[in-house]
Amino acid sequence: MAAAAVGAAAGGRGVLRRWLRDLGHDPVLALGHAAVALFLLGFVVAPLVAVAFAPGPADWARVAATPRWRTAALNTLTLVGLSTASSLVLGTLYAFAVTRARLPLRRLFEAVPLVLLVTPSFVSGLAFILLVGRRGLLTYHLLGLETSVYGWHGVWLAQTLSFFPVAYLVLRGVFLAHDARLEQAARGLGASRWRLLGTVTLPLATPGLLAAGLFIGIGVLGDFGNPMLVGGRFRVLATEVYTELTGWASVGTSAALGLLLLVPAVLLFAAQQRVQAATAGRFTTVGGRASGLEAPLPPPALRWALFGLCAAVTLFVAASQGVVVAGSLTRLWGVDHALTGEHYAYVLTRSRPLLNSVRFAASAALLGALVAAVTAYLVHRTRVPLRRGLDLATLLPAAVPGTLMGVAYVLVFNRPPLKLTGTGALIVIAMAASYLPVGYRICSAALQQLKASLDESAANLGASRARAFLTVILPLTWTAVAAAFAFTFVQAVGTLSTVIFLVSFDTPLAAVDVLNLAAQGRWGRACALATALLVVTFAGLGLAYLLTGGRLRGIDAAGRVGA
């Protein structure tokens, strides 16, 4: 123990000494290093450490003894199994259809998962309620059913739709990377089209499936928006964390519930990192050079089944976005379907939440992209001390359920020295930290494609690290940084899980308001606000796309980290 402390102190001194040396050689680098290190320490690591020690023995005992939470835990695990499996199946089929089946309307089908990926979860949630809810367009009005989407099956369906794009992106990459020669060779060796799928195509995709599955599992564990909107009385841990803190102001038990989520999430995350590292090399050798050959077509029956699947998903997505717009123009959905502009009038007269969402998300995107780019540079292109630590801390939010992060922020920033609760700054920081892994992966991928000799030649020609970054590295990777900005913005505009703990009377957010309006049954206003957010989201993406001349890179990286 004492030896470990001495060792840590010596290690700390070594780090400090090397940092001071860097400060002398290259002050901008050293200060940038210190800045991101302090940001990650202050806003990622410290809150998590604090929240880990928040629950006392009494809190843990209560959590263990309460049947309601046992049920919630069981529900969460069940959903992880169900939604992960269904997302994987749908994502794989969809990716296979788009990359291999040479379907008509392929371009349209390719766009759908990407649209879903950037659509805030509450839009789908709202659409669900409007389409298949108690007074749903499909169920009540067309089919005359009195069923309810609220409950486990609704959450399952909503999560499948939310998470299949992640599987789709990973598997699409896998299918595109596979050398068609392998499959042509298998055909040449006498494999039938069906045998080919089972013996070559799917086995080659297994590592990708595994990585995507682990990742989706983490997402489902921490998913807050879908269960909140369509869960009804079906409770999961992520929503319980929120209820426990906001309803009962019990930091200890809500932290304990969040930590229950953290353990499996971190395990899945570690497994996912391992799978990715272990298979990275194999993928590239399998991929290798793109040969001009096209992969063999799947059997016709399968092709048309796949077309049907893609068309159904596309129609559903179009319908769900359309129904939200329709809902925003309807006086009272399910009761009075008269056309009205009153909901937009409401949204525009009370425009503060919307403006806040845009401002905060844009600031968060700026902050996040900056931290991501600098950290990625430091980790992948320099030999500054603590690189491994920076790398882990940057990826950590991907493994931390958003609600736990929310509790942690409330816990740490509710008192001096950093009393930030109720400020927009804290919301901005929370958004930036939550989506740091996405931006970091995008920037890392771009940096790793640059030859190391570029930095070295800049240095050899007399450029300091900071100048090499500004004159060589940034100009060559700025489209990735722009992508990091765009994706952080898109996710931040629609996020609920962490920020829902941090909004105050002075800092309302549109996404949280949508949830509240929906909870009050004010569908029209909720839909109008959601539509406005959707417009902002796509406007932001479009702007980024135009500014980079259509070279917004790294959307696949976003898929790898998950939404």
Partner 1 sequence: MTRAAAAARVGDPPDAADADRAGAAGSVVLRGLTKRFGAVTAVDALDLTVAPGSFTTLLGPSGCGKTTVLRLVAGFAEPDAGTVHVGGRDVTGVPPDKRGVGLVFQDYALFPHMSVRRNVEYGLRMRRLPRQARAERVARVLATLGLEGLADRYPDQLSGGQQQRVALGRVMALEPQVLLLDEPLSNLDAQLRVRLRTELKELQRTLGVTALYVTHDQEEALSLSDEVVVMDAGRVQQAGSPEDVYRRPASRFVARFVGQANLLPVTAVGTEGDGRLRAAWERGELVLALPDERVPAPGTAGVAVVRPERVALAGPDGADAAAGPGSAAALALPGRVTAVDYFGPYRRYTVAVPGLADPWLADVPDAEDRHRRPGDDVTLTVSGEPSWAW
Least Cβ distance, residue 473 to partner 1 (angstroms) = 10
The one among 67, 388, 461, 505 contacting partner 1 by CB under 8 A: 461
Q: For partner 1, which stretch binds (CB under 8 A), given 45-53, 345-353, 464-472, 509-517?
A: 464-472
Least Cβ distance, residue 202 to partner 1 (angstroms) = 38
Q: For partner 1, which stretch binds (CB under 8 A), given 119-127, 179-187, 238-246, 447-455?
A: 447-455
458 binds partner 1 per the rule CB under 8 A: yes
Q: Which is nearer to partner 1, 26 or 223 (CB)?
A: 26
115 binds partner 1 per the rule CB under 8 A: no
The one among 284, 448, 449, 457 contacting partner 1 by CB under 8 A: 457
Query: Do 394 and 375 form a contact (C-beta atoms < 8 A)?
Result: yes
Q: Where are the alpha helices (DSSP H) in 223-250?
A: 225-230, 237-248
551 binds partner 1 per the rule CB under 8 A: no
Least Cβ distance, residue 543 to partner 1 (angstroms) = 23
The one among 134, 193, 387, 467 contacting partner 1 by CB under 8 A: 467
Q: Look up residue 458 and give its two tokens.
A: 């800049």
23 binds partner 1 per the rule CB under 8 A: no
DSSP letters along 19-80, please?
A: HHHHHHH-HHHHHHHHHHHHHHIIIIIHHHHHHHT-S-HHHHHHHHH-HHHHHHHHHHHHHH
CA-CA distances (angstroms) from residue 78 to 72, 222, 257, 427? 10, 13, 17, 32
Least Cβ distance, residue 475 to partner 1 (angstroms) = 5
Least Cβ distance, residue 459 to partner 1 (angstroms) = 4
What phi, psi does 45 have (nearest 5°)? -75, -50
Closest by CA position to 84, among listed 247, 239, 214: 214
The one among 68, 338, 460, 505 contacting partner 1 by CB under 8 A: 460
Least Cβ distance, residue 456 to partner 1 (angstroms) = 5
Binding mask 161-180 toward partner 1 (x if CB under 8 A, else -) reads --------------------
Q: How far is CA 64 from the centre of its chain?
A: 30
Burial 230-260 (b: 16+ CB within 10 A, else e): bbeebbbbbbbbbbbbeeeebbbbbbbbbbb
449 binds partner 1 per the rule CB under 8 A: no
Query: Do 135 and 105 form a contact (C-beta atoms < 8 A)?
Result: no
Q: Look up residue 253 and give its two tokens.
A: 């038990």
Rounded CA-CA distance 424/447 in Å is: 32
Least Cβ distance, residue 30 to partner 1 (angstroms) = 12
Q: Which is nearer to partner 1, 468 or 529 (CB)?
A: 468
Q: Look up residue 359 and give its two tokens.
A: 């401002």
Sorted by sequence, the CB contacts under 8 Å of residue 351 that are 6+ apart come out as: none
20 binds partner 1 per the rule CB under 8 A: no
448 binds partner 1 per the rule CB under 8 A: no
Site residues for partner 1 per CB under 8 A: 25-26, 451, 453-454, 456-464, 467, 471-472, 475-476
